[in-house]
Amino acid sequence: MQMTDYHSRRLGISFASVGAHLGWVYLAGEIVYEFGQTEKEEWLRSLVSTQISDLVRNLEYMDPKSLGTFSEKGKDFKINIMRLPEGEVPVFVLVAQEVEPELSMRNWEDLSNQVLTFCATGISLREKNLLDFLTITDPIRKKMERSFSADVHSGVIAFFHLQDLSPFFKPLGVVKSQEILREVTATLHKETRENEFNFQLNPRSYFLFCPGETLDGANHRFGSLYFPSKHLILDYKLKIFPIDREILADDSRFSSIFIENF
């Protein structure tokens, strides 16, 4: 069983365990995982798409929102959507279940953990196209633009390309797989200063955006960085790219930083 199959199956079991008639995972407005089927699919897709911009702007993390109800084959279902504490790229989980019982917050938290693990370990193995790339990187580009000011008009992007961890995910299991990914993220958080932010495009590609930083300064800061782990000694390659407003405005130059590692 490949890593994607394994985590897809685990996620399906998680949706089933909360009594989901239907479950969808949205990554930046795109459905990347589907559990169950419904005759109301087109109606439900339209319902979410008309509200997704408002959900991105206003929905608090881990605060399920009701989108309404529908009936199918003599049963009544309620629709809830929740935003997960994902970082820079919005991740939502939608659940349609019978009106009773309500999902507890513990159920939502367990489902959230499975969804975020799937996004971190499975999304990178999907076939990518230009729409996927733009959908994921556009929010990152906009945040970079907002980080520049009259006094800060350039910086760097530090790219950490980790060893291929996929052979370890199946034997280690979901819990320890999550621990490895959290350990990597925690290490980057410790290195991230107040005006900086980090983000992840797939299990091997981690980036740290540092406005106001220089190439020499970044090499000094990150040249000897290592990622401690309880389960593995993680190896990685470091690349550092200069970034400024002109590069952000140039689709080709901006994309070249990420596309080969997407």
Q: What confidence tens digit (pLDDT) does each residue in 203-234 have?
A: 778 899 999 999 999 999 998 888 887 767 78
Task: Report the chain's mean pLDDT, rounded to a whole number.
Answer: 83
pLDDT of residue 175: 66
Q: List, in sequence order, every beta strand (DSSP E) within 56-109.
A: 65-72, 75-83, 91-98
How many distinct structural domains can be found in the chain?
Answer: 2
Shared domain for 115 and 143, answered yes or no, is no
pLDDT digits (tens, 9 = 90+) for 148-192: 988 999 999 999 988 877 777 667 766 677 777 788 888 888 999
Residue 73: both structure tokens together: 């084959």
pLDDT of residue 124: 47
CATH number at residue 7: 3.30.450.30
Q: Which residue, of 70, 92, 125, is where some domain finishes?
A: 125
186/14 Cα distance (integer angstroms): 25
156/248 Cα distance (integer angstroms): 12
Amino acid at 154: S
Say whether pLDDT at 198 is over 90: no
Shared domain for 139 and 224, answered yes or no, is yes
Say whether pLDDT at 3 is over 50: no
Q: Which residue, of 73, 105, 125, is where some domain finishes?
A: 125
Say whether pLDDT at 261 is over 80: no
pLDDT of residue 126: 47
Give the domain range for residue 23.
3-125
pLDDT digits (tens, 9 = 90+) for 65-117: 999 999 998 899 999 999 988 666 788 999 999 887 778 888 888 888 888 87
Shared domain for 225 and 106, answered yes or no, is no
Task: Note whether 138 and 200 are within 8 A (CB).
Answer: no
Give percent of the chain above pLDDT 90.
Answer: 30
